[in-house]
Amino acid sequence: QEDEKLRQHVEAHGAGKWAEIARILRPRTDNQCWRRWKSLNSGVEVANYRKSVHKKKKGLVNNFVGREKERPDLTIGDFPAQDDDDEEPPRRFVELACTAPVHGLVVVYID
């Protein structure tokens, strides 16, 4: 039942409007809505969404070079996603403190 409400609101407001959706689905947070949507949808749909967000962020940063006074007026929603399918979002690595002995290489991907 709650999953269906989440799907309806994502369809109505769009994926990425997690704060807006969370306000409707109280007491859920935007992060909880995003994580649940991610678990309910196929990997391809989530990957396409993430690629779109990455491209918008990249366009946002590139557009601000030399235009410091305009920064507060623009948001990520002001820039359409670019159609550059060759670029993958960068993966981030983190080091984890471990109290037990570890044998071999441990890599953790943060998405």
| CB proximity list for 10: less than 8 A, separation 6 or greater | 17, 21, 37
pLDDT at residue 7 greater than cutoff 70: yes
48-52 average pLDDT score: 77
Angle at 61 between CA 35 and CA 83, to 5 degrees: 70
Percent of the chain's residues with pLDDT above 70: 49
pLDDT bracket for residue 38 (50, 70, 90): confident
Confidence grade of residue 81 (pLDDT, cut at 50, 70, 90): low
Tokens of 22: 């969370």
What is the rounded average pLDDT of the residues 47-58?
A: 76
Encoded tokens for 20: 């807006």
Say if residues 8 and 2 touch (Cβ distance below 8 Å).
no
**Residues 6 or more apart from 16 whose CB is under 8 A from it?**
49, 53
Looking at the chain, the domain(s) classified CATH 1.10.10 span 1-41
Q: For residue 2, what are its two tokens?
A: 């709650």
Peptide bond into 27 cis (omega under 30): yes
CATH number of 1-41: 1.10.10, 1.10.1760, 1.10.1060, 3.30.1380? 1.10.10
* pTM metric for this prediction: 0.43
